Amino acid sequence: MGERTMTAHFNHTIIASTDPAEMAGFYRDLLEADDAPSWGPFVNIVIGGGVLLQFAAPPTEFPPQHYAYLLDDEHFDRAHARITESGRAHWADPQRSRPGEINHEHGGRGVYLLDPSGHYLELITRPYL
């Protein structure tokens, strides 16, 4: 089997939100994202690579999801400072057994926190692969 070129790229996702505007603001500040035009039930922002994050309130309850974002070291420092300055709970591990810490996994740094709708966020400075 020969080497092939990967042509699929991640474009957008809808993140279930208890308050879409609050969620968009939270992610915009933490991820240093840009505003994007919003329509219908969606409040939209754009992150690196032109990926659209759409926040909307679904008509039913939703389970928490896990979203991981790769940041460079300087952005991680700024995000971690925002997290700690705001007093937001955060952990070095997904089990939440190391509160107030960061990890040094995969040759980088990482931190876990909950967003305003209860989703699990992971901020990392090095990819797993």
Place of tokens 């991820």: 31
* pLDDT tens-digit map of 89-123: 999 999 999 999 999 999 999 999 999 999 999 99
Instruction: Note the pLDDT of residue 1.
Output: 60
Q: Element (H or E) spanning 85, and its range?
A: helix 73-86
Question: Can you give the pLDDT at residue 74?
Answer: 98
pLDDT over threshold 90, residue 2:
no
Which tens digits make up the pLDDT trace of 23-81?
Answer: 999 999 999 999 999 999 999 999 999 999 999 999 999 999 999 999 999 999 999 99
Strands (DSSP E) found in 2-89: 12-16, 34-35, 43-47, 51-56, 66-70
